[in-house]
Structure 1
Amino acid sequence: MAKKSNTLSNFAIESAFGLSSGRMFNHHSGEPIKVQLKGLLGTQSQFTKDEKKIEQSMNKPNPQKVEIAMLDQNEDTLRVTFTWKIIRDIERMNITMSSVPEMYTILRQLHEAYKEQNGYQVLAERYAAQIVKGEPLFRNRYGLGIGVTVKSSLGREYHFDNRQPGNDFEAFVEDVKRGLEGEIVVFDIDMTSKIGKGQQVFPSQEMEMNSGKNAVSRVLDKDLQGNAMMHPWKLGNAIRTIDTWYPEYDQHGFAIAVEPYGANIRRFTAFRTGSASYYSRQKEVLQYLDSGKKQGVVEILDGKPIDEIRDIHYFMAMLCRGGVLGTEGKNQ
């Protein structure tokens, strides 16, 4: 049993999710959408209190090179396809830890206790809802209508229109839950968004480090043939934007991605600091190791429903997210 181990100095767990890149097509013709390089002549519009500088800037051109992607002129609907694999087999997952070897047993027992009390149903409903609503489309989902088709490796196919769960939702949730509980499940996902003929679409944007004179100021994700793509990390982020358990949810009213500190780069805010962070939840589990109880994780519950454990759904969603989740410094 661990001795006063309230931190994990070396802990990493493999993500339960595997996402492919998203491929972008003109829906009716089936042709891939090409990324194009455009030259623009913009204005210099940064803020200044100096009126003379404003006048001077108007006399200076601001040439730019940017990449864009657009539907064909006779196409009004975007199609995005990708695959989502769930593999949550604790026995086969790649888990690294050094400071608390017993953590593997704790994770396995916690997984079984959570599964026994149908906890994965809560996560499955939220993940599935993100797919049904077309959230992985990000900016591309704003239009006149969304359609989603999901083919499951378990032999079923589901159809959803305009972000409505419909009759297939419960069966889809069941397939997602089976993946979270230990089966390997792969979903082929096909999303369409009607946005208007010839409209601009939004692939993922690459981080461009070259800031030279002739640099392209906006670089989009694409394959070797120049076909527009979406990053798998972006798709995964959309699927796990299910955290409404963070302390200020009632104030803000929006879900955030499941992250150790609840980081939201769009709002430059961490919504889970201090005692609300993943590491505080992890510490509570490790404190249980120090408590002297050897019967197993189920005894944490002491006959209570599993959702009475503080932030248990967030904690389990973090384990599904995976990553390097160790802490710095020596054990306390």
Structure 2
Amino acid sequence: MITAIVGATALAGCGSETADTRDRGAAAFGGHFSVEGALRALPAVKRQDDRPLQVFAGDLSEAAELGDLPKPVDPQSLADWSKGLATPPLFVAASEGLGLQYLQSGAMRKTVGFDARDVTTFAAVEALPEDITVVNLTKGAGLTKGVEATGKGTVGDIDPAWPDDAPFPFVHGVAQRGDEVALSRSSAVLETWTKDNGDSLADNDALVAVAKALDAHGSYSAFLSDGPGKLPNLPPAALKAMNSSMPAFDAVGIAQGVEDGKAVEYVAYHVDDADKAKDRIEKTWTDGMSARTREPLAKLLDVGDVTAKDGVVTVKISPKGSAGLAVQMFMQGDVPFIVVD
């Protein structure tokens, strides 16, 4: 679930998934953010039923620098910092575990010792009811010793102290592993991450292929999914009339960038045959109609380069309005992210 909007960077991953390379990938995630590095930092959570899992990743330090945001040291600067993270051309889709939407209460810092203003980079995966958010913190910030949850009661249950004196509506478990801290509504997922058996989302070849494609560009945040968005409540004939011609894809990623002070977005699809799928994907973006607004996509965005490489088709778009257009379209089941046939 998207809980906030901000910005971030890009970093390359490692090769084969040995324990040694996985450790290096996890370390690199904190020191130099990348999409592939974010996948390596997350446990191999599986999708639930027909709902695709969703991955969120970003670099809040880079976002603050790009937006020339103030250091959040008091209520006013905190409000300005938080608002700035949602101001074009920046955009990050953040997991609930990052707590950006609850930042003003101060409850998270009081309870666990840090909050979003102390986070440098983050990676998260949601496949509800399972989820986990992994963060790296600024120097001097850290998890309060002995804290294992964000509230009283069972992890995953509603926090009885919400909304007056709790960081989240649901109790999150909290744990630390090396320099990283994780929060999760699932004790089992948190335990898996803590033990670190070597499995990660980087075991998903399709997600990794998409991550590599995004990391080839100067992106500053990313959202990934292991499947298409939910079909809107429209008959197939209506969707086809909107020039919805997307081929099947088993992973998609969206990365944010800034060029000449304006937002750009890279959308990468993992498909069976990238060369064959390229024209269909490009046609959807250039000639399609929005299922949400019922207007041509060309009114909402400009389409740039479309490339096919290593099983991935990547489309560069420039939103004509706010940044984050592609992520919003995915969440709303719009034409470029649904497969009709």
TM-score class normalised by the smaller sequence: under 0.3
Greater Rg by CA:
1
TM-score with structure 1 length normalisation? 0.27
TM-score with structure 2 length normalisation? 0.27
Q: Which has the higher contact order (CA 8 A, sep 6+)?
A: 1
